[in-house]
Amino acid sequence: MGLGIVIVGAGDCGTRAALALRGHGYSGPVTLIGDEDHAPYERPSLSKGALLCDTDPTPIVTEDRLRSLGITFLKNVPASRILRDTHEVECSDGQRIAYSKLLLATGASPRRLRDQMGRISYLRSWRDCQSLKASLSAGMRVVVLGAGFLGLEVAAAARTRGAEVTVLETQPRILQRGVPPEIAAALGARHAQAGVTIRTHVAADLSIGSHSISLGGKEEIEADLLFGAIGAIPNTRLAEAASLSIENGILVDSRLRTSDPDILAAGDCCAFPLAVAGGLKVRLEAWRAALDQAEVAAHNLAGGDQALGLLPWFWSDQYDTTLQIVGLYSADLATVRRDIDKESFVLFHFDPGHRLVAASGYGPTGRVARDMKFAEMLVANSARPDPELLGRPEVNLKSLLGA
């Protein structure tokens, strides 16, 4: 049958690419290499519902289903190097797997703080989730370092489980990067209502003690558990060792091809040109982006030539509220607000040419979903709707799609 396709990384992106290959009719050998001792599972719930419920991870696909599709799944066998000259991937157990095309979907790892005492917990895998959940209990003092999506989701889960929670952020506000201040303020108020203490403008020179954390040597906060959420670093070790181009991730073109045409990369590990942002090279750590890239990667691994037409989309669930963002928000965009009710609103963001380039919504779970669906269509169509109409809640957004 000849050489097949090898996928390194059995997360959302790599696994869905393997499934999409079969969906596109590719019948050659497919090998999926994972470094965890689990069938592929969905990661978004790890910082949300999985911290609150005693359930197994939500599977993307079962091992039986992979076998029935003729996909060889190697679990708990990390890839150790890529041999480009012979078109092989070498695994940690010494076996070598030949490929005609290779997809790197190696994801990202938590950015770690200096911690000589090993007190800081992180969250990236199901094992991390289980460990963190086992450590959380009512009344314990939890300090979260970082007020991005992950840090605030863990803060919400810890508070829901009865912990006393303090969030420390070096920036002037929470969700500083890519989230409008109106939504950050609303979410911050929801955390305060739940009893979470959020402190911004915190000095970065933290000192970790056995039962506390010191802020610049001036103040100590008692802590039973420290959680780090200061961003993620793309897993590029394999690619770097194979001399592939690296630029804030594994650098790929619009077809997800690396500097080696027989090797593609997708998901959190890659930096790609975003068409809706004029080709700006970005790296998106987002579930939807991973799924979109998996489809394009599968198409091109099977011999196609499809360009990535991804539209950024992010979401976060905290307590009984949700926020969604479509497109890339920046502070220099003009904004129009649409109030759905007293607790829910959508913001529409325009570029200087009056084109709608992003939208963001906030409110109780389910309240903003319909308006955000139509907002996404408007952004995808590069629409220039009348801002005055967008701001009127009685105007049906669907009616603006053909304008």
| pLDDT tens readout for residues 109-126 | 999 998 877 899 999 999
Average pLDDT estimate for 297-311: 96
Average confidence (pLDDT) over 67-81: 97
pLDDT computed for residue 57 by the predictor: 84
Residue 25: Cβ-neighbour burial (10 angstroms; 0-12, 13-18, 19+):
exposed
Mean pLDDT of 258-280: 96
Where is pLDDT greater, at 133 or 2?
A: 133
Distance from C-alpha of 17 to C-alpha of 23, rounded to nearest angstrom: 9
Is residue 30 scored above 90 in pLDDT?
A: yes
Taking only the tens place, the pLDDT of each residue in 126-145 is 999 999 999 999 999 999 99
Label residue 366 exposed, middle or buried (CB < 10 Å: 0-12, 13-18, 19+). exposed
Mean per-residue pLDDT, 81-91: 97
Query: Encoding tokens for residue 12?
Result: 């959302």
Among residues 288, 333, 324, the alpha carbon closest in space to that of 308 is found at 288
Radius of gyration of the chain (CA): 22
Give the range among 188-202, 205-219, 319-333 with minimum mean pLDDT. Answer: 205-219
Across residues 386-394, what is the average pLDDT?
93
Does the pLDDT value for residue 391 go beyond 90?
Answer: yes
Q: With helix as H, strand as E and coil as C, how does 334-391 read? A: EEEEEECCCCCEEEEEECCCCCEEEEEEEEECCCCHHHHHHHHHHHHCCCCCCHHHHC
**Number of residues in the chain:** 403
Residue 394: pLDDT over 50: yes
- Looking at residue 117, its pLDDT comes to 77
Going along 126-269, which residue ranges are E strands? 141-145, 164-168, 197-199, 206-208, 212-215, 219-222, 225-228, 232-234, 250-251, 263-265
According to the model, what pLDDT value does residue 252 have? 98
pLDDT of residue 55: 80
Is residue 56's pLDDT more than 90? Answer: no
Give mean pLDDT, residues 317-339.
96
- In the predicted structure, residue 1 carries a pLDDT above the cut 60: no
β-pair type (88-91, 96-104): antiparallel
pLDDT on residue 2: 59
Alpha helical stretches, state H, 195-257: 237-241
In this prediction, residues 354-371 reach a mean pLDDT of 94
Is pTM beyond 0.75? Reply is yes
Q: Options 3.40.640.10, 3.40.50.620, 3.30.390.30, 3.40.50.300; which CATH number does 320-400 get?
A: 3.30.390.30
The model's confidence at residue 216, banded by pLDDT at 50, 70 and 90, is confident
Q: Which residues contact 379 (CB under 8 A, 6 or more apart)?
A: 276, 311, 326, 327, 356, 357, 358, 359
Please report the pLDDT score of residue 230 as a whole number. Answer: 95
| pLDDT over 50 (residue 385) | yes
| Mean pLDDT over each residue of the chain, to the nearest integer | 94
**pLDDT over threshold 90, residue 274:** yes
- In the chain, where the domains are located: 4-109+232-301, 112-228, 320-400
Domain 4-109+232-301 has CATH 3.40.50.11710: no
Distance CA 319, CA 190 (A): 8
User: Average of pLDDT values for 147-167?
Assistant: 97
What pLDDT score was predicted for residue 53?
87
* Whole-number pLDDT of residue 8: 98
CATH superfamily of domain region 112-228: FAD/NAD(P)-binding domain (3.50.50.60)
**Cα–Cα nearest to 179, from 192, 164, 169, 165:** 169
For a pLDDT cut of 90, what percent of the chain falls above it?
87
112-228 and 320-400 share one CATH topology?
no
